[in-house]
Amino acid sequence: MFKQRLMPGWIILMGALTAIGPLSIDMYLPGFPAIGKEFDAGSRVELSLASFFIGLAIGQLFYGPISDRYGRKPPLYFGLSLFLLASVGAATSQSIEALIGWRFIQGLGGCAGMVIARAVVRDRCDAQEAARAFSLLILVMGIAPILAPLLGGIIVTESGWRSIFIVLAIFAFGCLIAIRYMLKESHSVSGSHPLILRKVLRDYLQILTNREFMRYTLSSSLAFTGMFAYIAGSPHVLMQVHHIPPQHYGWIFGSNALGLIAASQLNARLLRHYDLNWLLNRGVATAALSGSGLALFALFDWLSLPVLLAGLFIFITSLGFISPNASAAALAHQGHRAGTASALMGAIQFALATLAGACMSIWHDGSAMPLAIFMGVCGVGAWGLLRTKASRTS
C-alpha cells in the first residue's frame, strides 16, 4: 500500500520511466531546424515526431499482455534496451528516412516504461491510493516539459542535435540500472496462462466492452488530446499569430506545465479527504468550461492574448485532477490484467494525440480559432463521456 508521506523511491523511478515519452518529444524539438538543414528535409522532420507517436501507440499493446504473463521487470529490460539502441541509431543517422525509422523504434521501446509504470502502481495500491500515486508521478514526470526544451536548446547549441539522442541513451541506461537494484517485482506470475494470441485478443475485447473502463479512459483521453492539440498548435498560435518571441514562449509553456504539476499535488492532498470521482468530475468540468470558453471567444472574435493564455492555463491545469484520478478509476477493477488494461489506455491516448497533431498541422487559418475549437470539443466531449452511466463489469 502507498502510505508514506515522503515520496518512495519506486514512485520516483516510475515517474522517470513515464517521463521518457515527454523527454523524447520535447528535448529534440529545438533541433528541428538543424536536422532539417543537415538533411535538406524541410517539413519532413516533423515525420520523425509522428513516427515516434505511432511507435508509442502500437508498442503499448504488446508490453501490457507480456507484463501480465511474465511480470513487470522483464519487458522493462527489453523495452529500455530497445530504446537505448534506437537512441544510438538516431544519433548516427545519415538520412532523414533513417532518423524517422529509428524514432519509430524509439517509441516502440520507450512506451514500455509508460505502460508498466501504471501497472506497477495498480499492483501496489488500491484505487484511492493509486490516484495519489499517479499525482506524484505527474510531479516527477512534469518536470520534463519544463526542462527538456531548455536542455535540448543548450545541447543543440553546444554539441549539435545528435548529442540529444546520446543523452537519451544515457538516461535509458540509468533507468535500467535503477530497475535492477531499486524495483521489486510487483506482479506474481504463478498460475498465469500461456501467452496465446487468441487469449490476448479476447482480453482486449473484454476490456474494450467494459463500459466503466472505457468511460474513464475515453473521457481522460479526450482531455489528454486537448493538451496535445495545445502542444502541436500553440507554437504557431503564440509565436506566429501573436508574435511572442521564442524565449518567451518557453516561459509560457513552462508556466502551464507548472500549473499541471501544482494541480496534481493539490489533488494528492485532497484525496485524503475527498473521493477520487468527486475530484475527477470537477476537473473534467473545468476542462469543459475553459475549452468551450476558448471556442466561444474565438468564434465571436473576442479571443485576445490574455484571454487565450488564461484559457490555456486553466485547461492544462485541470489535467492535474483528471489524469491521475481517471487512471486510478479505470484500472481499479483490472487487477489480474492491469498491464493489458494500462496498455489499451495508453494506446488510445496516443492514437488520439496523433490525430490531434495531424489536425493542428492541417487546419491552419492564420488565427487561434482551430486550436480553440479543437480544445473546446475535447473538453466538452470529455465531460459528456464522464457523465454517461456505466455498468461495472469484470
pLDDT in tens, 339-361: 888 889 988 988 887 788 777 76
Q: What is the pLDDT of residues 172-199, one digit of tens each?
A: 999 999 999 988 888 877 656 677 888 8
> Which amino acid is residue 394, in one-letter code?
S
Q: What is the pLDDT of residues 244-298, one digit of tens each?
A: 886 677 788 788 988 998 999 899 899 989 999 999 999 999 999 999 999 999 9
CATH class for the domain made up of 9-184+192-387: mainly alpha
User: What pTM did the predictor assign?
Assistant: 0.79
In terms of average pLDDT, the best of 212-216, 328-332, 346-350 is 212-216
CA-nearest of 368, 333, 387, 384 to 130 is: 333
C-alpha cell at 72: 513487470
**Please, what is the average pLDDT of the chain?**
87
Radius of gyration of the chain, Cα coordinates, nearest whole angstrom: 20
Is the pLDDT score of 214 beyond 70? Answer: yes
Q: What is the pLDDT of residues 147-164, one digit of tens each?
A: 787 788 888 888 999 999
Cell 484520478, located at residue: 325
pLDDT at 237: 85
Cell 505502460, located at residue: 115
Rounded to an integer, what distance in angstroms lies between the CA atom of residue 369 and that of residue 220? 23
Mean pLDDT of all residues in 297-307? 92
Residue spans of the domains in the chain: they are: 9-184+192-387
